[in-house]
C-alpha cells in the first residue's frame, strides 16, 4: 500500500505515486511470423497477439494533439509544473558508494527503464504509439508536440489527472478506460460480466481464474476472453530485466541484496506466482543494504475488475467456484541508495508494532500481518531516490511519499513473509519555503502555526505505512471499488489513533504529538473536489467531513482553520473502529454507504480550497533524474 500521494494542492512536502488497435482480430499463426521487436508478442493455442514493433519503425497511428499551445505553455511553466529533483550525477551519496555498488546501480537503472515500457502498455494501449508519434513530430519541429511530450513524460502516459481533478487527455479521442491497458480497449463492463458468466456456466472456471488474478493481461479469444500471465505476455522484456538484475548481483557488495536480485530475476523469467512470493519474502527482510531496488505491484488503477461485486449473479457464481476477483497489478520500478541516518530514525516505531496490533479494534476477530505476541515482520528504509519508473514514478497530480509492500493480496504473506516500508526522501522535501509559508498564512490560524511542522508529516507517514500492516489481512476484496478508499482511510486513522499511545510509550514528546495531530488535520484540505476514482483524495474528503461534524476543527471568522488538538485522537479511534468493522464484514453495500455518507464537499472545504488555489498554481509535476540519466547513457 502507498501513503497518500504528495498532492500538489499542498505546497507542503514534508522534509526529514501493444496491441495497437487491430480490431481484436485473430491472426492466423500459419501466415504470421513472430515480430523482431524489443516488445513481445504472445503466442498461445495457435493465436498471436501482437504488440508494437517500434524497432522496425512500423507505421504508427496518427494522432491529433488535444491541448492547444496556450494551455501547453501554461501547464509546462514552472509555476504550474513543479520539479522534484532526484540525486545528481555528482551526489555524495553516489560518490561514496563502493565501485561494485556503483556498477550494480547502472544495471538496476537499466532494469527499471525496461519496466517503464512494460508499464506504459499496461496503463494504455496508446502510450507507446503515441510516444512514437510525438517523437516523430518533434523531429519535424512541431512545438505543440514538444510541449505535449513534456507532460507525457511527467505523467508517464497519454491520460492522467491533475491536482485540480481535471482529466488530462493528450490525444483527442483517446479516453481512459475502466480496464486501462490490461483489458481489451472495446470491452464494456456489461460485456465483461456477460462473458465471465457464460464462461463459468460452460465450465471454464480455470480460465476465468486466470482472467481475474492480479497478474494477467486479458485478451479476446473469439467470443470469450483469455488471461495471459504478464511474465508470458512481456516475456522478452522481462528476460532483459532479469539479465540486468543478474549482472547487478555480480558486482553488488551486499550478499542479502544479491540473493534478492537473483530471486527476482528468476521470477521475471517464468510465469510462476510462487517465484514472486520467494522474491517478495526475501525483499521484505532487507534492512542493511547500500542499494534499493523494487518492482512495485499495486492495484489502484484497475477499475474494471472492481465492478464485478456490483453484479450479484456473477459474484455468486465466482463464490461457488472459489474465485476471488483481484484487481490487476500495475508495475513500477524504484532505484535508490539507502540513507542510513534516515533509516535509523524510522526504526524507532518497530518495537511498538506488536503493541499497536494488540490495540487494534476487534483484533480478536481476524488475523493481521503484525502479531501481538512476536517480533514484527516489518523492515523499513529511507531512500535517496535515483529513479522511479512506471507506476511508482507517474506524476499524476501527485506522487507517492512512501510504500508499504507487499500488499495483502500477495502470496508471500501466506508463506511467512513480512512487509517492508520504503520512504522517498527527495519527494518529501520542501520545494519553496516562501510559498510554503504563504500557504500557512492563507489557511491556518496564526496562533496555531507553531504546531505545523514539516517533519511532523513524515512522522505521520511512518504511522500510516505501518498501519497498513495492522487490521484484517483478508476480506477487503469484497469491497470492490471501495476497497482502496477504505484501506487508505484505515491507514490514516491508524496513524492518528495511536499517537497518544506512542507518546505514552516514549516515541513522541508532547510537542511532537501536538505537531503530528494538527499537521494531519490541516493536510486534510485538498485544492479541489476529487472524483471517486481517486482513493487517496476521496478518503481525505471523508475524514474532513467526519472530523468537522465532531468539532475537531472550525473555521474562524477570518476564514482560517483552528484545530481542537485534543479531539483528534478520540475521533480517529471512532472512525478507525467503523472502518475495521466494514473490512471484517466484507460487505460491499456497507462500504458504499459509508463512503457516500462521508464523501461530502462542504462549504468549509471549498473556502479553504479557494485560498489554496490562490497561493498555489501547481497543476502537476515532473521528475529530474540526472544520475539515472547519466547511468542510462553509459
Phi, psi of 71 (to 5 degrees): -70, -40
Residue 103 has a pLDDT of: 98
Find the domain containing 389 and state its range. Answer: 1-56+88-634
Phi, psi of 267 (to 5 degrees): -65, -20
Report d(CA 159, CA 157) in Å as an integer. Answer: 6
Does residue 4 come out as left (phi exceeding 0), alpha (psi in the -120 to 50 range) or beta? beta
| Residue 75 covered by a domain | no
Cell triple for 476: 477487503
| Residue 64 covered by a domain | no
- pLDDT tens sequence across 63-83: 999 999 999 999 999 999 999
Q: What pTM did the predictor assign? A: 0.82
Report d(CA 381, CA 344) in Å as an integer. Answer: 8
Report d(CA 353, CA 331) in Å as an integer. Answer: 29
Statement: residue 477 has pLDDT above 90: no
Residue 49 has a pLDDT of: 34
Tell me what the mean pLDDT of segment 391-403 comes to: 90
- Residue 388's DSSP bridge partners are 334
DSSP 26: -
Statement: residue 349 has pLDDT above 60: yes
Contact 74, 607 (CB under 8 A): no
> Residue 602: enclosing H or E segment and its boundaries?
none
Lowest mean pLDDT among 51-60, 186-195, 498-507: 51-60
Tell me what the mean pLDDT of segment 122-126 comes to: 97
Give the up-direction half-sphere exposure of residue 15: CA atoms within 13 A in the CB hemisphere: 8
Q: How many CB atoms lie within 10 A of CB 621?
A: 25
- Residue 7's DSSP bridge partners are 398
| Residue 70 covered by a domain | no
Lowest mean pLDDT among 3-12, 353-362, 522-531, 578-587: 3-12
| Residue 544 covered by a domain | yes
- pLDDT tens sequence across 86-114: 999 999 999 999 999 999 999 999 999 99
Q: What is the mean pLDDT of the chain?
A: 88
Report d(CA 334, CA 298) in Å as an integer. Answer: 13
| Residue 277 covered by a domain | yes
What's the total number of domains in the chain?
Answer: 1
Dmax of the chain from CA atoms?
77
Contact 470, 42 (CB under 8 A): no
% of the chain surpassing 70 pLDDT: 89
Residue 371 has a pLDDT of: 65
Sheet of 378-390, strand order: 291-298, 330-338, 378-390, 419-424, 402-405
DSSP 372: T
Please tell me whether residue 277 adopts helix, strand or coil conformation.
Answer: helix
DSSP string, 311-326: -HHHHHHHHHTT----
| Residue 536 covered by a domain | yes
| Residue 456 covered by a domain | yes
- Pairing mode of beta strands 81-85, 159-161: unpaired
Residue 271 has a pLDDT of: 97
- pLDDT tens sequence across 30-53: 333 323 333 333 433 333 333 333
Tell me what the mean pLDDT of segment 324-337 comes to: 96
| Residue 506 covered by a domain | yes
Report d(CA 380, CA 123) in Å as an integer. Answer: 29
> Residue 261: enclosing H or E segment and its boundaries?
helix 255-269
User: Is residue 430 very low, low, confident or very high in pLDDT (cuts 50, 70, 90)?
Assistant: confident
Lowest mean pLDDT among 60-64, 550-554, 578-582: 60-64
Nearest CA among 153, 121, 161, 115 for reference residue 134:
153
Report d(CA 447, CA 609) in Å as an integer. Answer: 21
Handedness of CA 610, 611, 617, 622 (dihedral sign): negative
Amino acid at each position: 500500500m502507498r501513503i497518500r500521494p504528495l498532492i500538489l494542492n499542498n505546497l507542503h512536502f514534508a522534509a526529514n505515486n501493444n496491441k495497437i488497435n487491430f480490431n481484436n482480430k485473430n491472426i492466423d499463426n500459419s501466415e504470421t511470423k513472430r515480430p523482431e521487436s524489443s516488445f513481445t508478442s504472445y503466442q498461445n493455442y495457435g493465436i498471436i497477439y501482437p504488440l508494437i514493433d517500434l524497432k522496425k519503425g512500423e507505421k504508427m497511428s496518427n494522432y491529433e494533439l488535444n491541448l492547444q499551445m496556450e494551455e501547453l505553455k501554461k501547464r509546462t511553466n514552472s509555476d504550474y509544473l513543479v520539479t522534484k529533483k532526484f540525486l545528481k550525477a555528482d551526489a555524495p551519496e553516489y560518490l561514496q558508494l563502493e565501485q561494485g555498488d556503483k556498477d550494480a546501480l547502472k544495471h538496476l537503472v537499466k532494469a527499471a527503464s525496461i519496466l517503464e515500457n512494460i508499464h506504459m502498455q499496461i496503463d494504455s494501449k496508446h502510450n507507446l504509439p503515441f510516444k512514437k508519434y510525438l517523437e516523430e513530430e518533434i523531429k519535424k519541429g512541431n512545438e505543440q508536440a514538444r510541449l505535449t511530450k513534456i507532460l507525457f513524460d511527467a505523467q508517464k502516459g497519454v491520460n492522467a489527472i491533475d491536482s485540480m481533478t481535471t482529466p488530462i487527455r493528450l490525444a483527442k479521442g483517446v479516453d481512459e478506460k475502466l480496464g486501462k491497458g490490461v483489458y481489451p480497449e472495446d470491452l464494456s463492463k456489461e460485456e465483461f460480466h456477460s462473458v465471465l458468466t457464460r464462461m463459468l456456466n460452460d465450465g471454464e472456471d480455470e480460465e476465468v481464474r486466470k482472467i481475474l488474478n492480479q497478474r494477467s493481461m486479458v485478451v479476446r479469444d473469439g467470443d470469450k476472453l483469455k488471461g495471459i500471465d504478464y511474465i508470458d505476455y512481456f516475456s522478452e522484456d522481462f528476460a532483459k530485466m532479469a539479465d540486468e538484475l543478474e549482472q547487478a548481483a555480480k558486482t553488488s557488495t551486499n550478499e542479502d541484496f544479491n540473493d534478492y536480485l537473483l530471486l527476482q530475476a528468476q521470477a521475471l523469467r517464468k510465469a510462476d506466482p510462487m517465484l514472486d512470493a520467494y522474491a517478495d519474502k526475501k525483499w521484505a527482510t532487507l534492512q542493511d543494504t547500500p542499494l534499493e531496488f523494487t518492482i512495485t505491484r499495486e492495484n489502484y488503477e484497475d477499475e474494471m475488475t472492481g465492478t464485478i461485486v456490483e453484479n450479484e449473479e456473477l459474484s455468486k457464481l465466482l463464490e461457488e467456484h472459489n474465485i476471488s476477483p483481484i484487481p490487476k497489478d500495475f508495475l513500477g520500478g524504484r532505484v535508490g541508495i539507502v540513507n542510513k541516518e534516515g533509516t535509523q530514525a524510522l526504526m524507532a516505531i518497530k518495537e511498538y508494532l506488536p503493541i499497536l496490533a494488540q490495540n487494534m479494534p476487534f483484533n480478536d476477530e481476524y488475523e493481521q500481518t503484525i502479531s501481538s505476541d512476536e517480533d514484527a515482520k516489518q523492515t523499513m528504509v529511507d531512500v535517496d531516490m535515483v529513479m522511479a519508473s512506471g507506476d511508482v514514478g507517474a506524476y499524476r497530480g501527485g506522487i507517492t511519499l512512501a510504500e508499504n509492500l507487499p500488499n495483502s493480496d500477495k502470496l508471500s504473506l501466506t508463506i511467512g513473509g513480512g512487509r517492508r516500508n520504503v520512504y522517498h526522501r527527495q519527494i518529501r522535501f520542501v520545494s519553496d519555503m516562501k510559498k510554503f509559508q504563504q500557504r500557512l498564512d492563507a489557511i491556518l490560524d496564526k496562533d496555531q502555526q507553531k504546531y505545523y511542522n514539516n517533519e511532523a508529516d513524515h512522522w505521520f507517514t511512518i504511522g500510516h505505512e505501518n498501519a497498513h500492516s495492522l487490521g484484517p489481512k483478508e476480506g477487503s476484496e469484497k469491497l470492490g471499488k471501495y476497497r482502496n478508499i477504505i484501506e487508505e482511510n484505515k491507514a490514516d486513522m491508524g496513524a492518528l489513533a495511536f499517537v497518544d499511545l506512542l507518546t505514552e510509550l516514549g516515541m513522541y514528546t508532547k510537542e511532537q504529538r501536538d505537531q503530528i495531530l494538527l499537521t494531519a488535520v490541516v493536510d486534510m484540505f485538498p485544492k479541489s473536489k476529487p472524483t471517486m476514482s481517486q482513493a487517496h483524495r476521496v478518503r481525505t474528503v471523508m475524514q474532513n467531513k467526519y472530523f468537522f461534524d465532531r468539532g475537531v476543527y472550525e473555521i474562524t471568522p477570518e476564514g482560517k482553520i483552528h484545530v481542537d488538538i485534543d479531539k483528534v485522537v478520540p475521533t480517529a479511534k471512532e472512525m478507525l473502529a467503523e472502518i475495521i468493522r466494514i473490512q471484517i464484514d466484507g460487505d460491499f453495500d456497507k462500504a458504499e454507504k459509508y463512503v457516500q455518507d462521508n464523501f461530502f464537499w462542504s462549504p468549509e472545504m471549498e473556502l479553504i480550497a479557494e485560498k489554496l488555489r490562490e497561493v498555489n498554481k501547481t497543476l502537476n509535476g515532473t521528475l529530474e533524474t540526472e544520475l539515472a540519466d547519466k547511468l542510462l547513457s553509459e
